[in-house]
Amino acid sequence: MLRCIIVGYGFLGKRLAKLIASGAVRGIKLVGIASSKGYIYKEDGFLPGDLPDDLRSSSMLRLAPASELIDKRIADLLVELTPTNIRDGEPGLSHIRLALEQGMDVVTANKGPIALAYKELMGLAEEKGAMLLHEATVGGGIPLISLKNRCLVADELLSIKGILNGTTNYILSRMHFEGMSLDLALREAQMLGIAERDPTLDLEGVDTALKLVILANSLMNMSKRLSDVKIKGITGITSEAIAAAKESGMTIKLIGIADEDGLRVAPKLVRLNDPICVHGTLNAVSFNFRILGRLTIIGEGAGESTVSALINDIHEVVKTRMRSNRI
Amino acid sequence: MRVKLTLALSDRPGVLLKALEQIALNGGNIVSIIHRRDSITSGYVPVSINVEFPDSASLERAKKGIEASGIPVIEAETLEKAICTILLIGAVKIEDLLRRVHELGSRVAEVSMTGGLTSPCIKAVIEAPSEKLSTLLASLESFAEEQGALLITEW
Ligand SMILES: NC(=O)c1ccc[n+]([C@@H]2O[C@H](COP(=O)([O-])OP(=O)(O)OC[C@H]3O[C@@H](n4cnc5c(N)ncnc54)[C@H](OP(=O)(O)O)[C@@H]3O)[C@@H](O)[C@H]2O)c1
């Protein structure tokens, strides 16, 4: 059995812990969990009944940083699920480095470290013979990275265009269908828990840009940084502008584009009958391959569906390690 | 595709024929020929030929053939038009937009304004020669910036 620890016990961490502890992912057991409060561990593996709602209520809690748990060398796999930090990627970046240095495999949904230090981390993983999988960082449960890297390895990806942020897509959809102002649609999204209390990163296009950097670096072999992306957000979009677009059979969507001209994020006019024109919190990505041509994939880009990407990456690690008899 | 080829012909009989041969050889259909004798320079007469080519590869082959027979190709301008819709959110004067588009050899086919003074938005449908579209959009981007407006183009 592969032994795994989860660092970050919030929305995703709790759901994933429950799945692993209940045996839903074959070949793996959960031996440690960390949050900002400390960590708990159990070398023979947690069962569903062992999982506390809050680590503070566990009698096993050790008041020490997650790095101590990673350093214990009781696990083969780290699942890193701490909050995304776009300034320096911390604490996730240090967690991932520490694990890879010990040759541990890593699966993560944390965009910060992958967007800021992709080359470094991939280099480190290769040097140590470890795997670093990050499907869950972009597009929630939609398989984007594995789609290219497993199903379309031989074809060349020429461009990526996509709606990569569910919050702004929800807001723009409400403006389109209900004629609402941006402010009102934003407040509604906050009430529904779709938008965060501070929605700046979403509205200003930074979240889309982060995901675009991750896709361009991991699928198009680029070496881009967040500062290489020309970013325009949606804060200037008015209901009048959306109404004018609607009259012409179009609407406005926040689109991230990566192609030979570089990386950019901007509100764009999109035809209502274009396959990429999805509404609500849905995400949609259109790839343009040299031979295959255009391929568009649509799905929920965040929330519960993200757990699907995590367990598929975990399954990939288990399968690979079983084949190489490392477990 | 419709193309306007401008060639520099030396003012000797038979030179034009050579060029026309190359066009026909590569599947081009000649629509019209204009000799611009008013602008003869150092013995060369510029000649504009409007040609319908089956595709851009045949145009390229014809250009190479013409140049190989010693006739300089001054310009090959596609007469294909690209049509695109844009939105400008902000207080922009329609005349200024029209002027900027015109300066770039393009034209505004349709324009309307909504939102009154509080929330103005211009919608325009622009017609540009295909090869000039990206320059035009880049220039409109700086125009919007100068005006403190937000430009939204088709993706
Ligand atoms: N939720 C989604 O739909 C989604 C989708 C794609 C990607 N992501 C990314 O996935 C990651 C996790 O998302 P989430 O929604 O599960 O976040 P979340 O609910 O905010 O949970 C974050 C967890 O990280 C813990 N944490 C914070 N600082 C820590 C530290 N220094 N050491 C150890 N643990 C620490 C928090 O501890 P406390 O519990 O003690 O506060 C919390 O348990 C984020 O990077 C997010 O951007 C999320």
B87 close to A (CB below 8 A): yes
Tell which A residues from 177 to 206 touch B, by Cβ distance under 8 Å.
none
Closest Cα to atom 44 of ligand 1: A83
CA of A38 to the centre of ligand 1 (A): 14
Query: pLDDT value at position A198?
Result: 93
- Residues in B touching A276 (Cβ below 8 Å): 155
Is it true that B2-78 and B81-153 share their CATH fold? yes
Is position A211 annotated as part of the catalytic site? yes
Q: How far from the centroid of its chain's Cα atoms is residue A298's Cα?
A: 15
Of A238, A268, A271, the CB nearest to B119: A238
Query: pLDDT value at position A327?
Result: 61
For A175-233, the pLDDT digits (tens) are: 999 999 999 999 999 999 999 999 999 999 999 999 999 999 999 999 999 999 999 99
Out of A78-87, A124-133, A287-296, B52-61, least confident range: B52-61
d(C-alpha B53, C-alpha A322), whole Å = 60
d(C-alpha B71, C-alpha B64), whole Å = 10
Query: pLDDT value at position A30?
Result: 98
Task: Spell out which residues line ligand 1, taking CB within 6 angstroms.
Answer: A 7-13, 34-37, 66, 81-84, 91, 109-111, 136, 140, 302-303, 306
Cβ contact, residue pair A241, B87, below 8 Å:
yes
Residues above pLDDT 90, as percent of chain A:
98
Q: pTM of the entire structure?
A: 0.88
**Mutation to test the B interface, candidates A238, A260, A278, A296, most B Cβ within 10 Å:** A238
CATH number for region A146-300 = 3.30.360.10
In angstroms, what separates the C-alpha of B147 from chain A's closest C-alpha? 14
Cβ contact, residue pair B114, A244, below 8 Å:
yes
Where are the strands (E) in chain B, listed by range? 2-10, 29-35, 44-52, 73-78, 81-89, 107-114, 121-129, 150-153
A270 close to B (CB below 8 A): yes
Tokens 């306007």 locate to B4
B154 close to A (CB below 8 A): yes
d(C-alpha B61, C-alpha B21), whole Å = 12
User: What distance, in Å, lies between the first and last C-alpha atoms of chain A?
Assistant: 6
Contact B34, B48 (CB under 8 A): yes
For A252-293, the pLDDT digits (tens) are: 999 999 999 999 999 999 999 999 999 999 999 999 999 999
Q: Please, which pLDDT band fits residue A326 given cuts at 50, 70 and 90?
A: low
d(C-alpha A62, C-alpha A38), whole Å = 5
What stretch of H or E contains B67? helix B56-68
For B6-30, the pLDDT digits (tens) are: 999 887 888 899 999 999 999 999 9
Q: Which CATH number fits domain B2-78: 3.40.718.10, 3.40.50.300, 3.50.50.60, 3.30.70.260?
A: 3.30.70.260
Does the structural domain B81-153 have CATH classification 3.30.70.260? yes
Ligand 1 atom nearest to A82, measured from its CA:
24
Tell me which chain B residue has its CA closest to the CA of residue A160.
B155
Q: Which among A211, A224, A253, A268 is annotated as catalytic? A: A211
d(C-alpha A154, C-alpha A149), whole Å = 9
Tell which A residues from 225 to 254 touch B, by Cβ distance under 8 Å.
232, 236-241, 243-245, 247-248, 250, 252-253
Domain boundaries, chain A: 2-141+305-323, 146-300
Cβ contact, residue pair A244, B119, below 8 Å:
no
Task: Judge whether residue A54 has pLDDT over 90.
Answer: yes
Q: Please, which pLDDT band fits residue A112 given cuts at 50, 70 and 90?
A: very high
Torsion of CA A225, A230, A235, A241, to 10 degrees: -150
> Under CATH, what is the fold of the domain A2-141+305-323?
Rossmann fold (3.40.50)
For B76-130, the pLDDT digits (tens) are: 888 788 999 999 999 999 999 999 999 988 999 999 999 988 999 999 999 998 8
- Residues in B touching A236 (Cβ below 8 Å): 89-90, 150
Query: pLDDT value at position B43?
Result: 77
The interface predicted TM-score (ipTM) is 0.87
Q: What is the mean pLDDT of chain A?
A: 97
Q: What is the mean pLDDT of residues A161-178?
A: 98
Angstrom distances, CA of residue A122 to CA of A100, A117, A132: 9, 8, 7
Cβ contact, residue pair A237, B114, below 8 Å:
no
Ligand 1 atom nearest to A90, measured from its CA:
31
Domain boundaries, chain B: 2-78, 81-153
